[in-house]
């Protein structure tokens, strides 16, 4: 599934493996963060590795869930259920690291 919110400068991909509670939590957490901080300037693609295993290699996916910020460069990866908003924002460079 592909969800586009206009021509955003942020290109995000969320890799999950099946509809597990953890992947649903990651998606919910991510949605909230994007709506609050990136509204109107991001593109989010969700990839389920159980149906598209061949895609794991390209983005060097190891852990799931993994959020990949493909743009802007450099590529960033945030792994886990994204429950710690502060760390996700740091990972996305939306907030300077302390």
Partner 1 sequence: MRDVILRLPMQGAELAKTPTGIRGLDEITRGGLPKGRPTLICGGPGSGKTLLAVTFLVNGAVQFGEPGVLLTFEENGDEIANDVASLGFDLPELIKAQKLAVDYVRVERSEIEETGEYDLEGLFVRLNYAIQSTGAKRVVLDTIESLFAGLSNGGILRAELRRLFRWLKDQGVTAVVTGERGDGLLTRQGLEEYVSDAVILLDHRVHDQVSTRRLRVVKYRGSYHGTNEYPFLINSEGISVLPVSSLALQHQAPMDRVSTGVSRLDEMLSGKGYFRGSTILISGTAGTGKTSLAAHFVDAACRRGERCLCFLFEESPQQLLRNMRSIGIDLEPWVAAGLLQFHADRPSRYGLETHLVTMHNVVAAFKPSVTVLDPVTNLMTVGTYSDVQAMLTRMIDYLKTENITALLTSLTPGKTDLERTETTISSLMDTWILLANNEVGGRHRRGLYVLKSRGMAHSNDVREFALTDRGLELLDAAGAAGDASAGRDTPIERTRLS
The stretch among 4-12, 22-30, 36-44 that binds partner 1 (CB under 8 A) is 22-30
Name which position in 14, 17, 34, 38 contacts partner 1 (CB under 8 A): 17
Cβ(71)–Cβ(13) below 8 Å: no
Sign of CA dihedral 88, 5, 13, 65: positive
Q: Which helix (H) or strand (E) holds 85?
A: helix 85-91
Instruction: State yes or no: residue 57 binds partner 1 (CB under 8 A).
Output: yes
Give the DSSP H or E segment for 4.
Answer: strand 2-5
Q: Which is nearer to partner 1, 16 or 42 (CB)?
A: 16
Site string for partner 1, 58-97 (x = CB under 8 A): --xxxxxxx-------xxxxxxxxxxx--xx-xx------
Q: Does 30 contact partner 1 by CB under 8 A? A: no
């Amino acid at each position: 599934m592909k969800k586009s919110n206009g021509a955003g400068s942020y290109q995000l991909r969320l890799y999950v493996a099946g509809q597990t509670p953890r992947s649903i939590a990651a998606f919910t957490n991510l949605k909230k963060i994007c709506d609050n901080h990136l509204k109107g300037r991001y593109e989010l693609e969700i990839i389920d590795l159980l149906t598209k295993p061949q895609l794991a290699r390209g983005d060097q996916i190891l852990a799931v869930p993994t959020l990949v910020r493909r743009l802007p460069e450099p590529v960033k990866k945030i792994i886990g259920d994204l429950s710690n908003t502060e760390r996700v924002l740091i990972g996305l460079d939306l907030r300077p690291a302390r």
